[in-house]
A and B are shown apart, each in its own frame.
Chain A
Amino acid sequence: MNKVTNNKAWWLVLPVFILVAFSALIPLMTVVNYSVQDIFGPNNAYFVGTDWFREVLRDDRLQDSLIRQFVFSGAVLLIQIPLGIGVALMMPTSGKKASLCLILLAIPLLIPWNVVGTIWQIFGRGDIGLFGWGLNELGMDYNYTASTADAWATVLLMDVWHWTPLVALLCYSGLRAIPEAFYQAAEIDRASKWAVFRYIQLPRLKSVLVIAVLLRFMDSFMIYTEPFVLTGGGPGSSTTFLSQTLTTMAIGQFDIGRAAAFSLIYFLIVLLVSWLFFTAITHLDKQK
């Protein structure tokens, strides 16, 4: 029997293609276009070639905020992924308790970013905030508006509070997808809890962990609202991450060309890191 090949179905993809062109491709092209010009206003732009890129790459302020950004994203992944797996493992597997846990876990995810920032800003205050006041009463000199270490700790804690539930929920769904037979086999073999985790649960969680790591990396790498509301990037510029530096440049100083060059570099970094993560993890699968 001859198989009929009909490629006309490809035309059905056209609307999506047009939509993506307008929502992603053309804006990206515009950014590329702006990055090679010095723009003072409509009809007042000068072609400057790659000068902006050269300047941006050698800007100390940007290099510093890039390093901060990598440290922050690294810390976020190191804390949230193990913690999320741990929470998911400890959650009840079925019944009313499970539903209750799921709802409780999901609450932080439903809160808008700037509200999270405001909540923690008040929570961390020494005079009226429970957290800040409590720490001060315990004799710790905690002040997130004055100390770099305290500001970092608070921003990290806030992100952990806000986003660990996402990792936990993803892992929870991954854990529930493991067939009971695996556990029965492990029990017959008298496998220890650690062995069950290491050889059954962790390998089976790999695909959800890929998604969790990618989502958490990209989100934390692009973080803006929460630290902006909480610390405003301070004290000094110690919690000013890339997005905030970029926004200050593009909107505060109206340096469109420089900001465009910077966002392209930003984009390339996110693209490279995400691709590396994705390739590393999908190819680990294939080798087995």
Chain B
Amino acid sequence: MIAWMSWTLPVAIFFAVIAAILLVMTVYEVISPCTERKGFLPIATTRGDRLFIGLLMAAYIHLLFLGLSELSLWIALAISVVWLAILLRWG
């Protein structure tokens, strides 16, 4: 399966994680529907908005690390995960 179209394991893991996040968020939404609220972000957001903002910012954090430093991307990943959690909780 993975050899088809020369898929690679890291990419498969990447998309599996994204799919898992979406799935968990869907189930979470069904169990307890969220309402729009205002946190530290300048706009009122729903949970899905915050996830989108967090993922987009995570992508940019990784690109910044790649473009401007030689540091390991694991650091970027850690920062992104922490930032995503903060954003989802208080954003």
Q: Which residues of A contact B (CB under 8 A)?
A: 29-30, 32-33, 36-37, 39, 43, 45, 47, 49-50, 53-54, 57-58, 265, 268, 271-272, 275, 279, 283, 286
Contacts and interface: CB of A to CB of B under 8 A. Distances in A.
Contacts of A33: 5-8, 11
Contacts of B8: 33, 36-37, 47
Nearest to A54: B66
The prevalent SS among residues of B at the interface is helix
A265 B62 CA distance: 11
Contacts of A279: 43
B38 to A, nearest CB: 11
Interface in B18-60: 43-44, 52, 56, 59-60
Interface of B: 5-8, 10-11, 14-15, 43-44, 52, 56, 59-60, 63, 66-67, 73
A32 B11 contact: yes
Nearest to B5: A30
B17 to A, nearest CB: 12
B43 A283 contact: yes
B66 to A, nearest CB: 5
Given A54-B67, A272-B56, A286 B11 contact: no
Nearest to A63: B67
A227 to B, nearest CB: 26
23 contacts: A29-B15, A32-B11, A33-B5, A33-B7, A36-B8, A36-B11, A37-B6, A37-B8, A39-B6, A43-B6, A45-B6, A47-B10, A49-B10, A53-B66, A54-B67, A57-B63, A57-B66, A268-B63, A271-B56, A275-B52, A275-B56, A283-B44, A286-B44
Given A33-B5, A271-B56, A265 B63 contact: yes
A279 B44 CA distance: 10
Contacts of A265: 63
Given A36-B8, A37-B6, A37-B8, A272 B60 contact: yes
A53 B63 contact: yes
8 shortest interchain CB distances as A-B pairs: A57-B67, A33-B11, A45-B6, A283-B43, A54-B66, A53-B66, A268-B59, A47-B8
